[in-house]
Each structure stands twice: as C-alpha cells, then as structure tokens.
Amino acid sequence: QVHLVESGGGLVQAGGSLRLSCAVSGSIFGINSMGWYRQAPGKQREVVAGITSGGSTNYADFVKGRFTISRDNPKNTVYLQMNSLKPEDTGVYYCNAGKFIGIAVVNYWGQGTQVTVSS
C-alpha cells in the first residue's frame, strides 16, 4: 500500500504563488511516476503535471510556464510550485502515484488539498 498526504493548499490572490507538497510513504518500491491532478467544482478531475522516476516532467498546456513539479527522493516528497495563479486554477489538488504491480499499473491518490485563487 502507498500512502500520499498533500499539504500546502490555501487561499491566495490572483498572481500569487503556492507550493504544494505530497509526502509518500508505505510500499514505495516500484513507483514509476508521480503526478498532480485537480478538480474544480462541477468539473472532471484533470491532470496538471507529472514526473517520472527518471525525472522527466510533463505539464498540461494551461499550466506550462507557471507551474513546476519536482521531487526530493531522500524525503519521499513531490512538490508542485504554482506561480502566477489565476482564479481558474481554483480546485482540489490531488497527488497521484503510479506503481507497477506485475504487468499492471495501480494508481494511488491522496485526500486532496484545496487551492482557492481570488480575483
């Protein structure tokens, strides 16, 4: 089992910054990728950014140039630095871990952290 705990959300004005953290614990061997997703009220959950075990990163177009995903392997923590925040970035942000179990990939989720950007 993999446990993910997000922190760092809050209320910020448009143009401001927040840094989200995701602490990973449990059976972390075999985790291939980590990512951040978000879900706004009334909308589906969408991917924001991802990072592989090798350090390769990918971003949704709507956050490119503003958000940065990183990982601190000794601390088993993944971060999402969010700059130039916009009201449309408001939502619950979830940390995700993808782990190989046999030939399948099992996804684990944190409980989410609320980000609210005021205009």
SS3 sequence, 42-95?
A: CCCCEEEEEEECCCCEEECHHHCCCEEEEEEHHHCEEEEEECCCCHHHCEEEEE
Amino acid 35: pLDDT: 96
Q: Is the pLDDT of residue 84 over 90?
A: yes
User: What is the C-alpha separation between 57 and 16, in angstroms, rounded?
Assistant: 23
User: What is the C-alpha separation between 60 and 47, in angstroms, rounded?
Assistant: 7
User: What is the C-alpha separation between 85 and 63, in angstroms, rounded?
Assistant: 9
Q: Residue 116 half-sphere exposure, CB side, CA atoms within 13 Å?
A: 5
Q: Is the pLDDT of residue 109 over 90?
A: yes
Structure tokens at 32: 């291939």
- Does residue 45 sit in helix, strand or coil? coil
The pLDDT confidence band at residue 100, using thresholds 50, 70 and 90, is confident
Q: Is the pLDDT of residue 69 over 90?
A: yes
